[in-house]
Amino acid sequence: MSGKLSRRDLVTAACAGAAAALLPRTAGSTSPPQVGAVITGDELPAREASWYKKLPESRVECQLCPRACQVADAERGACGVRENRGGTYYTLVHGVACSVHLDPIEKKPFFHVLPGAQALSYATAGCNVECKFCQNWEISQFRPEQVRSQYLPPETLAEVAKRNGVPLLSATYSEPVVFWEYVRDTAIAGHRLGVRSTVVSNGYAQEQALKDVLPLLAAMKVDLKAFTERFYHDLVRGELKPVLKALEIIKASGTWFEIVVLLIPGQNDSEQEVRDLSRWVKANLGAEVPVHFTRFHPTYRLTNLAPTPIPVLERAWQVAKAEGLAFPYLGNVPGHPGESTACPGCGTRLIRRVGFQVLDNVLASGKCPQCKRSIPGVWS
């Protein structure tokens, strides 16, 4: 299919053409609204969260991300989308999609997952960190009642993708870890219909939550923001160590994954930091993990910096190759050779890309047609 999925497509695919209207419900209701309904304010549907433990005095501890928020009654966790109600923790964004689009899988970016395929991408409000360079801050840094959303439960997303011939679902844009139950249930619904799920995440997640969902995914992309705790503290309001641990968990799970590093001038783009990062990836995750070095453009709270100079990106690309990474890439530089996939064995160009478009793909059953070397990824 081509073009965008309209709101009408999203509703009628699941409702067989029935008109979707918001049902009158009381504030804080745990009953779901009608599929396709616009969600505002007190109409947020509450659903008990899956990863938390109860504490004395009606408090709870969230077990989704390393923040491990301890939340008092009638309060929310740091992500703003999970609320304690009388000692029971609820997610307020299960099925509450604030953004749904049809994207090329290369936009995520995934370069080793069904090249040229489309992905039905979805997100809710909220995030568990605050990157000063966030491209989607209008949804990630707001609570769900502050953005316009639509009730699209997992089965609806899966059915829309199936009916439109879209092979992939992708939880992306904000931070999927904060709507992890929605991700899990959408992956399950998609699996029943032969539609696979992917996740685009910051990797800021606790071990058990990751392990519970990874087997349901075809692939996961992790933004490794930098390779210093200083950067995470100052520009992300998070920590590096838990992200490195998450990457090791993903590797051990066998789920395909790729890494993106957004290079920001003067912050995380030094040759030494790229070298240290590349060495850690090779030693702990393997030489064949794709690592995308992406160009920064000023946004959100970092509008005082210039875009990343292309020579800086090229230096990182060369350093990663010199350190033994088989599949380093460049991002946000349309037409650069660093966007394309070459065989690390014989150098044959296997997939030629310009931006998010695949122009050529000569892979043969996941192998180089010249030297027959297997290229890791999700190819069929």
DSSP annotation string for 236-255: ISS-SHHHHHHHHHHHHHT-
My answer on whether 136 and 251 are in the same domain is: no
pLDDT in the model for residue 256: 98
Whether pLDDT at 14 is above 80: no
My answer on whether 212 and 285 are in the same domain is: no
> How much of the chain, in percent, has pLDDT values that exceed 90?
90
| Total domains in the fold of the chain | 2
My answer on whether 105 and 247 are in the same domain is: no
pLDDT band at residue 40 under the 50/70/90 scheme = confident
pLDDT in the model for residue 43: 84
pLDDT tens digits for range 171-216: 999 999 999 999 999 999 999 999 999 999 999 999 999 999 999 9
pLDDT in the model for residue 316: 98
My answer on whether 266 and 296 are in the same domain is: yes
pLDDT tens digits for range 100-139: 999 999 999 999 999 999 999 999 999 999 999 999 999 9
| 360, part of any domain | no
My answer on whether 165 and 83 are in the same domain is: yes
The mean pLDDT value for 289-318 works out to: 98
CATH number, domain of 233, equals 3.20.20.70
Four-CA torsion 255, 89, 92, 179, nearest 10 degrees: -10
Cα–Cα distance for residue pair 263/128, rounded to 1 Å: 21
Reported in sequence order, the residue ranges of 74-223 that DSSP labels E, i.e. its strands, are: 82-85, 88-91, 96-97, 99-104, 118-123, 149-151, 168-171, 196-201, 219-223
My answer on whether 271 and 316 are in the same domain is: yes
My answer on whether 28 and 110 are in the same domain is: yes
pLDDT band at residue 32 under the 50/70/90 scheme = confident
My answer on whether 290 and 244 are in the same domain is: yes
| 67, part of any domain | yes
My answer on whether 77 and 115 are in the same domain is: yes
Reported in sequence order, the residue ranges of 51-139 that DSSP labels E, i.e. its strands, are: 52-54, 60-62, 70-71, 82-85, 88-91, 96-97, 99-104, 118-123
My answer on whether 5 and 90 are in the same domain is: yes
- Domain final position from 170, 201, 219: 219
The mean pLDDT value for 330-350 works out to: 97
DSSP annotation string for 326-350: S-EEEES-TT-GGGSEE-TTT--EE
Quote the mean pLDDT of the chain.
93
Q: What's the length of the chain?
A: 380
pLDDT in the model for residue 68: 98
| 31, part of any domain | yes
Residue among 61, 67, 64, 57 at smallest CA distance from 89 = 61
| 125, part of any domain | yes
| 259, part of any domain | yes
Weakest-pLDDT range from 21-25, 260-264, 364-368:
21-25
- Domain final position from 196, 219, 242: 219
Whether pLDDT at 3 is above 60: no
My answer on whether 213 and 231 are in the same domain is: no
Weakest-pLDDT range from 8-12, 63-67, 182-186:
8-12
Q: Which domain holds residue 159?
A: 1-219
Question: Which DSSP state fits 163?
Answer: H
The mean pLDDT value for 95-100 works out to: 98
- Domain final position from 195, 219, 243: 219
pLDDT band at residue 5 under the 50/70/90 scheme = low
| 282, part of any domain | yes
pLDDT in the model for residue 20: 32
| 356, part of any domain | no
pLDDT tens digits for range 72-90: 999 999 999 999 999 999 9
Weakest-pLDDT range from 12-21, 102-111, 156-165, 207-216:
12-21
| 236, part of any domain | yes
My answer on whether 211 and 292 are in the same domain is: no
Residue among 77, 70, 67, 66 at smallest CA distance from 56 = 70
